Amino acid sequence: MSRDTLFGILLAIQTGTGFLGNSLLFALYMHTFFALPRKKKPADGILAHLTFANALTLLFRRVPSIISSFGMSLELGDTGCKLVLYTHRVTRSISLYTTSLQSMFQAVTITVSGRKWTWLKNNISTLIQPSIFSCWVISMVIYSRIILRVVANRNTTDVTSGYYGVFWKVSTYDRQAVVTYLSIVLIQDVLFLSLMVGSSVYMVTILSRHHRVAGLVRSSVHLSRSSPEHRATHVILMLVCCFIFFYWTNSFLTAYPQFGKNRNWQLENINAFISSCYLTICPFVLMKNEKRFPD
């Protein structure tokens, strides 16, 4: 069995596990929304979009890689390549945004009461859906360039220049346009990551302060550890740490080959696996705090 085949099996297991976990959790949120409204939580809308985006990202981005690992050809055509890459980029952006939004939502939820936080705490639930919708629109506009420039790569040996993948490549490589496009994407990612890190640091500060105060009374410590808000906060902090680690690892492994002259397919295989780790881990981390089950 070749190395590529072994990698294909590993990637298929990872993709199948992640897709199943995200799909089941998304189905749970949809069932709760339509059939069990009394059990609905304000954060369900964010997590439904997160699991939906994760499932689509795994499906559209990893399946072509799995097929390629087994040595099979996939005739997507220009339209198919545009659809696969465009959907992957948009849903990846949604995954970043919803993780950041969930972190900020949880930070506001556990914040101490105060006059300056009253309006935001009372209205944040109504702001969730419009903000997510806006992010879908913005992401679809930003990545619309893919629809115009990406075509099928019919000659897999012609990979000497430009931006390309296993089944696709950029039809015309304009360095200035690429720099502008990547700058916009980078600014968007850095903004969301900064909000994610800032809200996470704030949550850690609040939790530390609470535990110091509650440490005077043993029963208060027990209550603070078992409260749903604090359990949810720990889950979100775990998600944020996973996302940041895998995001920067994936970014480094993506940028590193650009400084070399030859394509390192082994490194790209490792990067493909790492880039899907968060998408696979995410639903199972969320399940740690999910106590609702359909009747």
Task: Please write the tens of the pLDDT for every residue from 163-193.
Answer: 566 677 776 666 777 788 888 888 999 999 9
Name all domains of the chain by residue range, CATH numbers in brackets.
3-155+162-287 (1.20.1070.10)
Residue whose C-alpha is closest to residue 156's, from 76, 48, 237, 247: 76
Confidence of residue 255 (pLDDT cuts 50, 70, 90): confident
Burial of 26: CB neighbours in 10 Å, binned 0-12, 13-18, 19+: buried
Burial of 135: CB neighbours in 10 Å, binned 0-12, 13-18, 19+: buried
Phi, psi of 112 (to 5 degrees): -65, 150
Tokens of 20: 């199943």
Residue 26 has pLDDT above 90, yes or no: yes
pLDDT score recorded for residue 85: 87
Whether 273 contacts 14, CB under 8 Å: yes
Tokens of 44: 């369900």
Range in 38-47, 207-216, 243-252 with the lowest mean pLDDT:
207-216
- CA dist 111 and 124 (Å) reads 13
Residue whose C-alpha is closest to residue 153's, from 78, 261, 88: 78
pLDDT score recorded for residue 160: 47
Residue 24 has pLDDT above 90, yes or no: yes
Residue 106 has pLDDT above 60, yes or no: yes
- Give the single-character DSSP code of 73: -
Residue 236 has pLDDT above 50, yes or no: yes
pLDDT score recorded for residue 221: 45
Whether 84 contacts 22, CB under 8 Å: no
Whether 145 contacts 181, CB under 8 Å: yes
Radius of gyration, alpha carbons of the chain: 21
Confidence of residue 68 (pLDDT cuts 50, 70, 90): confident
- CA dist 101 and 104 (Å) reads 5
Task: Please write the tens of the pLDDT for every residue from 82-104.
Answer: 888 899 899 999 999 999 999 99
